């Protein structure tokens, strides 16, 4: 019985055509974080922010899961043990690739949130500023995304899962953003084997007992084969 927690970042969706944030020409080279990924930015120019997520939602809908997403779904269905995907990504490629046990700690493009009452509902492909909440009818709909300065979701669940994990893997993340970047340190402290699968070494690469470099569509299926062969 092996329990595995897998943290994923933008790199796992790169080969599906979705941009990463900090690679050459990435999203944070095209937009200022404070303008499109903070509550202050949304208050200042809600149309700019709604447009930014509408564009990313359309790209996400048009993208297809790649071999890495499908391999993680195979691991979840074939492993004798628990497999939890904790994703920083807001696309739904893990679910469309067949994973069922997925926690979106930074929110999701396919969900809308009422800033007034906290109600969530499936987001339309294109959201508009001042859209009313289907529950409280306040004109307070916003993208259901965790912005910088806001609290990531599911932290208690994630920490409990890491505490009982035998293996902690990080895939396609640069290790720049906390609390996600700190998970590997906690995993080591609870005795899990830690492995980084990334195109380039992340900021936290030295914390991992094992590293596998290359594109996720190649490294993840091979790693899953190894996990299932144990």
Which residues of the shown chain bind ligand APR in the complex (CB under 6 A)?
9-11, 14-15, 20-23, 26, 88, 106, 172-174, 176-177, 198-200, 202, 215-216
Instruction: Give the residue closest to ligand APR by C-beta.
Output: 11
Element (H, E) at 50: helix 46-62
Q: Which residue has the tokens 């005795």?
A: 191
Cβ proximity to ligand APR, 54 vs 173, nearer residue:
173
Residue 68 phi, psi (nearest 5) = -70, -45
CB 168 within 8 A of CB 193: yes
Catalytic-role residue among 106, 119, 128, 153: 106
Structure tokens at 130: 């001042």
Cβ proximity to ligand APR, 14 vs 112, nearer residue:
14
CB 116, min distance to ligand APR, A: 24
User: Helices 216-229 and 67-78, interaxial angle, to 10°?
Assistant: 10
Q: In angstroms, rounded to a whole number, what is the distance separating the alpha carbons of residues 186 and 159?
A: 8
Element (H, E) at 184: helix 183-189
CB 8, min distance to ligand APR, A: 8
Half-sphere exposure of 162 toward its Cβ, with a 13 Å CA cutoff?
A: 24
Cβ proximity to ligand APR, 133 vs 224, nearer residue:
224
Structure tokens at 219: 């490294």
- The question of whether 106 is a catalytic residue gets the answer yes
CB 95, min distance to ligand APR, A: 17
CB 136, min distance to ligand APR, A: 27
Cβ proximity to ligand APR, 12 vs 84, nearer residue:
12
Annotated catalytic residues are 106
């Amino acid at each position: 019985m092996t329990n595995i927690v897998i943290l994923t970042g933008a790199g796992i969706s790169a080969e599906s055509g979705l941009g990463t944030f900090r690679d050459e020409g990435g999203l944070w080279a095209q937009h200022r974080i404070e303008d499109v990924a903070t509550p202050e930015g949304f208050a200042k120019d809600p149309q700019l922010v709604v447009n930014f997520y509408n564009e990313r939602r359309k790209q996400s809908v048009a993208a297809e899961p790649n071999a890495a997403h499908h391999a993680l779904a195979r691991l979840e269905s074939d492993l004798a043990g628990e497999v939890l995907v904790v994703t920083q990504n807001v696309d739904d490629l893990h679910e469309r690739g067949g994973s069922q046990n997925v926690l979106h700690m930074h929110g999701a493009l396919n969900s809308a949130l009422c800033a007034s009452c906290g109600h969530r509902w499936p987001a339309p492909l294109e959201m508009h500023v001042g859209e009313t909440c289907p529950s409280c009818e306040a004109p307070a709909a916003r993208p259901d995304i965790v912005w910088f300065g806001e609290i990531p979701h599911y932290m208690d669940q994630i920490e409990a899962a890491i505490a009982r994990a035998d293996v902690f893997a990080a895939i396609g993340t640069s290790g720049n953003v906390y609390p996600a970047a700190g998970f590997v340190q906690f995993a080591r402290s609870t005795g899990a084997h830690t492995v980084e699968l990334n195109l380039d070494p992340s900021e936290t690469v030295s914390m991992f007992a094992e590293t596998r470099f290359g594109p996720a569509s190649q490294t993840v299926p091979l790693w899953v084969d190894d996990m299932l062969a144990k």
